[in-house]
Amino acid sequence: MKIVDENGKLFKKINLVDAIVALLLAAIVIAIGWKVVSSVITAKQEKTAEDLASDYENNPHLVFDVICPDVPKMVAESFMEQMDRPKSERQLMSMGAPLEGYVTGCSFTPDDPEDENSTCTVLFTIECVPVEKEGIYSIGTQEVRLGKAHIVKTYYIETSGWVYSMDPPPAEEEPADA
């Protein structure tokens, strides 16, 4: 069986020109739908970022340090330069979405001060509004516990290390019985 017959019809039923026009119209409808859906998603993400900033300011913070060994010195220096960027550019991220936390400090120590090409140990200080479940704090998809591996990720930084120290937010006070 031929796909296009001698009259220019597909499968002896559909005109070839009509099929091409139908495909073009379908592509246009899909493109418009995609544009509308993506703009709604973008607007929702922007609103979420504003809400996160408001929530961040109004909630108690978990402060913790992440130590990252074996970072090339040039990369460590670049991390230090990121601390001069606005706070919004040091916001933590997970899977492309902003989190309620920021890198608030960074320092590094060369492993071999004599060698210009040596690696460094970088220490990041992070402040965040954690989620607490059964006494375990988490930010995004990562639990925050002493000694646990942690990925420090912002718009411009991504490196791994371990939680070195942490200062949990103050416990909520129980209401007094009257």
The pLDDT-based confidence of 1 (bands split at 50, 70, 90) is low
Q: What is the band of 36 on the pLDDT scale with cuts at 50, 70, 90?
A: confident
Average pLDDT score over residue span 82-95:
89
Separation between Cα atoms, residue 163 and residue 138, nearest integer Å? 12
pLDDT for residue 178: 47
Per the model's pLDDT, the better-predicted residue between 155 and 47 turns out to be 155
Is the overall model pTM greater than 0.85, yes or no? no
**pLDDT band (50, 70, 90) for residue 144:** very high
In angstroms, rounded to a whole number, what is the distance separating the alpha carbons of residues 97 and 155?
10
CB 171 within 8 A of CB 140: no
Rounded average pLDDT over 135-160:
92
pLDDT at 121 over 70: yes
Place of tokens 């704090």: 137
Convert the pLDDT of each residue in 90-114 to its tens digit: 999 988 888 889 999 999 999 888 8
Written as six digits, the tokens of 11 are 């499968």
Half-sphere exposure of 153 (CA within 13 A, CB side): 15
